[in-house]
Amino acid sequence: MTGSPTPQRPLVDSFGRRISYLRISVTDRCDFRCVYCMAEDMTFLPKKDVLSFEEVEAIAGAFIARGTTKIRLTGGEPLVRRDIMALVRNLGGRIGNGLDELTITTNGSQLQKHAEGLFAAGVRRLNVSLDTLDAARFAQITRRGRLGDVLAGIGAAQAAGLAIKINMVAMRGVNDHEIEAMMDWAHGGGMGLTLIEGMPLGDVGIDRVDTYLPLRELHDRLARRYSFTKLDKRTGGPARYVHVAETGGTLGFITPMSHNFCESCNRVRLTATGQLYLCLGQDDQVNLRDAWRNGGAEALDAALDHAMIIKPKGHDFVLDRTRADPAVARHMSVTGG
């Protein structure tokens, strides 16, 4: 994979951070209702309010022209959006022409159907969200998913040539006793595993304080059993990685609560309605849909300049008994995972 040429006007925020990574939520809809992400009864966006694929491509093109080299499609569940492969193919066509990589975060439920098409479109890596290997617990966490479908999807993706990284939200009293087994399984199957702290986004109807597990605590627990070597590996996101000698695999830690990663933030998030959020844990945003619809490429470019000015230094996630309410009202599925 070759590096892209330096753009004449790269996206650099007021803290000197260059924005090279765009996460695009193509839908807020999902076929699961994971307890830490969504409420049981969700009200989704009217389809008329969602960006068309043509609008997504126009906005993505504006970012690529300003130096964005990595795009990740998210949701909700991106693969439930009708005709999603048309967008994947068109964005994949930009690889080598300003874009270095197109990746997807998925719950895996639709991978059997789309794995070969994703590879053909230029996707080479997937993040699959999977929090347990216990079928009954999986049904409880997702509220409606079937573990067998996800495991079959992962198998299909690997057969198609896609590299897989498993994302696991670590929750005290829910799945924290499964961490070692999940790591052994993932590494044994040639997959990485990244552990994620729960984040206070949206009212999901559960007590996040009780289930919150600081990953420093988990890291120390695992380090008593496994031999870790720090890695310089970076995949564009906030994870910090170690190599695990006993399994031969890679373990990542994403710690937005116990140790934020804002000083090196290189990413912004586009919602399915065209709102550009400059920080996952803040409400600062720019309406790129209106900029494009009302003023075309010139207005869109100016909106990106404004976004760089207002991008905050970092988030202020706090989760304890004195501040147990969500840090922001929107659900993770709105902003994009």
Binding site, annotated residues for [4Fe-4S] cluster:
30, 34, 37, 262, 265, 279
User: Domain with 270 in it: what CATH number?
Assistant: 3.20.20.70
Q: Are 170 and 228 in contact (CB under 8 A)?
A: no
100 in a structural domain: yes
Q: Is residue 70 part of a domain?
A: yes
Does residue 3 lie in a domain region? Answer: no
15 occurs within a structural domain: no
In a domain, 51, yes or no: yes
The answer as to whether 117 is a domain residue is yes
Give binding residues as ranges: 23, 30, 34, 36-37, 72, 76, 105, 129, 165, 199, 262, 265, 267-269, 279
pLDDT of residue 274: 96
Binding-site sequence positions for S-adenosyl-L-methionine:
36, 76, 129, 199
pLDDT at res. 116: 98
Q: % helix / strand / coil in the chain, to the nearest 5?
A: 35, 20, 45
Distance separating alpha carbons of residues 8 and 1, to the nearest angstrom:
21
Which SS3 state, helix, strand or coil, does residue 21 take?
strand
What's the whole-model pTM score?
A: 0.88
- The boundaries of the domain holding residue 167 are 21-335
**CA–CA distance, 89 with 104 (Å, rounded to integer):** 13
User: Could you give the dihedral angle defined by the CA atoms of residues 300, 10, 268 and 29, in that order, rounded to the nearest 10 degrees?
Assistant: 50
Q: Is residue 1 part of a domain?
A: no
Q: Inter-axis angle of helices 215-223 and 179-188, to 10 degrees? A: 70
Q: How many domains does the chain have?
A: 1
Q: 279 in a domain, yes or no?
A: yes
What phi and psi values does residue 313 have, to the nearest 5 degrees?
-65, -35
Predicted pLDDT at 332 = 54
User: If the chain, 337 residues long, is cut into consecutive pieces of 10 residues, what is the mean pLDDT of each piece?
Assistant: 67 95 95 86 85 97 97 96 97 98 98 98 98 97 95 98 97 94 98 86 54 89 96 76 97 72 84 92 88 97 97 62 45 56
